[in-house]
Structure formats: C-alpha cells, structure tokens
C-alpha cells in the first residue's frame, strides 16, 4: 500500500489483483466511454491560482454535508457489486470511511446487505435506493434502511433503464455474476481475492435475496433485477418516497438545470450533479462542466454535490471552488478496495486528503470554508 502515491497507482495494483471481469466492471463507461473520459479530463482545463506569503498554519478541510460533519467533503459513492472487488467489500469500505470521518453510501445492488454493514459500523451510513417496479420491495428497503438508522437516503434518478457497457457484455458479466470455467480459471491466479469469494457468494445481493417477490435463487434473481428498473419513474414517486423515508434525502443523477429546479421544488436536502460516472448516457457532458450552471440555477435553494471523474485532492478543491458542498468518489475507492481491502480504501482517502491539504495551502487558503472561485485562474465552465 505504501507504494501507492496516487489513485492511479491504486488502479494499477487493483488491475493486477482483481479478476478481469470485475476490474472491467468498475473501469468502464457506456458505449464509446466519451462521457466517462470527459469526467476525468475536464478537471484539467481548470487552472488553480498560485498564491504566496499567506499564513498557511492551522489548516482544516473539515466541513459538513447535509448538516453532517465530515473530515473532508468527500463521500464514498454507492457502487453495485462492490463485494466482487474484494470479499466483504462493502463492510471494509464502510469501516474505512467511518474511521476517516466521511460518509459511506451503500448501494441497493450491494453484495453485503444493509444489516451486514450496520453490524460492522457504529456511526450511521447512507443508503442508496434504486426505484424498482415492485413498490412493496421499495417500501421494505426504506424500512430496513430506517431500522439500520441510515442517516440519509440517496435516491438515484438516472437509471430508469440500464446503460450498456461493451466490456461487461464481452466479459459475459451478469448481475449477479454467473461463473464460467474461464472465469474460475482466471480467479485461480488471484489467490488472495479467492479466499473470501465463497463468503461473498453466500451474501450475493444481500439487499434483494429473500425479500423480492418470486426470487428464490441466483438465476431468478438475475432476471428479476434486469427487468425491475422502473421506466415510469416520476417526480410523484420522489414525493412518496420522501414521505415514507422522512429523513434527509439526496437526489442523485441531476445533470440539467430544469431537472435541478424540479429537484429543489421537491424539497430534497441535496442533489448530486452526476452522470453515473459515465455509465448511462454516453455523450452527456462531464459533471464538473455542468456544475457551475446548476449551482447558478439552484445553489441558493438546495445543497449541490457532485461526482464523476474525481481522481485527486485538486479535483475536489476545484469542485468546491465551483460551488459543490460535497463530492463523491466511486472508482477511486473501488481501486483501493481491489488493491488492498480496507487499507486500500483508507489509502485512497488519505491520498485525496493530503493532496487537498497541500493544494489549498498553495492556493493561499487555510480553511475549506474560505475556498471559492478566487482559487481559480478562470472558470472555463462559467454559467
């Protein structure tokens, strides 16, 4: 782990350790992957302003997201099949996030269940909800998240139908995974990863198995999942979910000003400017390029968060400078997890923290609350 100085180092280590099918699942975007790539590359078009002879002592990156204190404004994004990057991956990542003082978001499509993660954490985590056609199932998930004392519901809106990733099709990845002889042989070359595999398989899709109607085994689970995403999802559904949940609500997958206004009207606590890490609409703009105009449209009415393409502490600071109250990392924590389990996730958070701290100082700021557009030379994505 100590060899990993950047998120890219963790990615290289994960590529060596995680079976190809699962590494590719994380490291892929929809179709031509143009949005996936733009999410990362558009950060480099924003230039930081170097300042000198400013008091840089007593710095702090501490902040809040939806009123909850965070060591730095970086949450762990919800990712499906996380337990396939490393056995018990969701539990390990939640433990690392808790120790670091940042929010962990558990995906509906996780391997470990809400209850598994609750058993291994002391502080509340966040739960991400996909809206399925089976509303009893949704009600049940909301009730389970409440019972586990989750402190926010992250409602994902940009997956009414599934985007397509060529790599997954070529690798024969299904959800949940069905293993062919080729996959098993490939895993055999990664002994450490295989050790926990049996355990992970036992938990397969812990939030769903045993709770969804007509799902009795892995095969029926696979078909159920594929046809359950709700193409008719509407703002009315957001309203009843908000009411049933009754706690902090974050709407994920907003990339358009009109949708952002509707989200602010819905009474949610925050939105996440996001294109699902480039995994849904290929050809959509990068999240960072849309952030300023969404902040201009609704920033005075609702907390604006963003995700997509963050690979360094500099990226986080740029997002904060452009108005994000919080950010999320998906692949960076998955690479850490694949590279070294809990320690790898901690490493990913540590890398981002240290980069943020030094960058903020060299931009002449001591406190995160002082970071604004003045740390940028200009804003190529001005509203």
Rule CB under 6 A: say whether 308 interacts with ligand FNR.
yes
Residue 303 phi/psi, 5° resolution? -70, 135
**Residue of the chain from 24, 95, 303, 307 that contacts ligand FNR (CB under 6 A):** 307
225 annotated to bind ligand: no
Instruction: State the binding string over 89-108 for ligand FNR (x if CB under 6 A, else -).
Output: ------------------x-
Which are the contacts of 254, defined by CB distance < 8 A and separation ≥ 6? Answer: 157, 260, 263, 271, 272, 273, 274, 294
274 annotated to bind ligand: yes
> Quick one: 29 or 365, whose CB is closer to ligand FNR?
29
> Quick one: 279 or 318, whose CB is closer to ligand FNR?
279
What is the spatial distance between Cα 345 and Cα 5, in angstroms, rounded to a whole number?
A: 13
Among residues 86, 183, 276, 305, which one is catalytic? 276
- Reference 206, options 296, 48, 89; nearest CA is 89
> Quick one: 126 or 299, whose CB is closer to ligand FNR?
126
Query: What is the closest distance, in whole angstroms, from the C-beta atom of residue 156 to ligand FNR in the complex?
Result: 4
Determine whether 276 is an active site residue: yes
Task: List binders of ligand FNR among 235-254 (CB under 6 A).
Answer: 252
- Reference 110, options 145, 135, 75; nearest CA is 145
Query: What is the closest distance, in whole angstroms, from the C-beta atom of residue 116 to ligand FNR in the complex?
Result: 16
Q: Contact at 8 Å (CB) between 254 and 263?
A: yes
Q: DSSP of 248-266, one letter per residue?
A: -EEEEEE-SHHHHHHHHHT
Token pair for residue 58? Answer: 């007593």
Distances from the Cα of 256 to the Cα of 168, 303, 316, 340, angstroms: 28, 15, 21, 37
Residues that bind ligand FNR (CB under 6 A): 25-26, 39, 77-80, 107, 109, 128, 156, 252, 274, 276-277, 279, 307-310, 329-331
Q: Which residues are annotated as a binding site for FMN?
A: 78-80, 107, 128, 130, 156, 252, 274, 307-311, 330-331
Residues forming the active site: 276
């Amino acid at each position: 782990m100590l060899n990993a100085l950047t998120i890219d180092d963790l990615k290289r280590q994960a590529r060596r350790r995680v079976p190809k099918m699962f590494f590719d699942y994380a490291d892929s975007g929809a179709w031509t992957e143009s949005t996936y790539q733009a999410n990362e590359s558009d950060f480099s078009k924003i230039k930081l302003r170097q300042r000198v002879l400013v008091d840089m002592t007593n710095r702090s990156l501490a902040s809040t997201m939806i009123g909850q204190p965070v060591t730095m404004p970086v949450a762990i994004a919800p990712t499906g099949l996380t337990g396939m990057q490393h056995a018990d991956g969701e539990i390990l990542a939640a433990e690392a996030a808790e120790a670091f003082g940042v929010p962990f978001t558990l995906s509906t499509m996780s391997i470990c269940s809400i209850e598994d993660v609750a058993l291994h954490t002391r502080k509340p985590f966040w739960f991400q909800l996909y809206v399925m056609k089976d509303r009893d199932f949704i009600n049940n998930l909301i009730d389970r998240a409440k019972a586990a004392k989750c402190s926010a519901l992250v409602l994902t809106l940009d997956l009414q139908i599934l985007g397509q990733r060529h790599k997954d099709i070529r690798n024969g990845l299904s959800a949940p995974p069905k293993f062919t002889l080729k996959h098993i042989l490939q895993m055999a070359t990664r002994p450490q990863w295989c050790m926990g595999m049996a355990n992970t398989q036992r938990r397969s899709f812990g939030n769903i198995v045993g709770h969804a109607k007509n799902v009795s085994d892995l095969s029926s689970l696979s078909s159920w999942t594929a046809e359950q995403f709700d193409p008719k999802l509407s703002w009315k559904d957001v309203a009843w979910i908000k009411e049933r949940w009754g706690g902090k609500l974050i709407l994920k997958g907003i990339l358009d000003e009109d949708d952002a206004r509707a989200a602010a009207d819905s009474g949610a606590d925050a939105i996440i400017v996001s294109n699902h890490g480039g995994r849904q609409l290929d050809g959509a703009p990068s999240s960072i390029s849309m952030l300023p105009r969404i902040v201009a449209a609704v920033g005075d009415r609702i907390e604006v968060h963003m995700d997509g393409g963050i690979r360094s502490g500099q990226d986080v600071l740029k997002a904060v400078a452009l108005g994000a109250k919080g950010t999320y990392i998906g692949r960076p924590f998955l690479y850490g997890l694949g590279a070294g389990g809990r320690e790898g996730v901690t490493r990913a958070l540590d890398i981002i923290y240290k980069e943020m701290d030094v960058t903020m100082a060299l931009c002449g700021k001591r406190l995160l609350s002082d970071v604004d557009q003045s740390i940028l030379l200009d804003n190529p994505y001005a509203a």
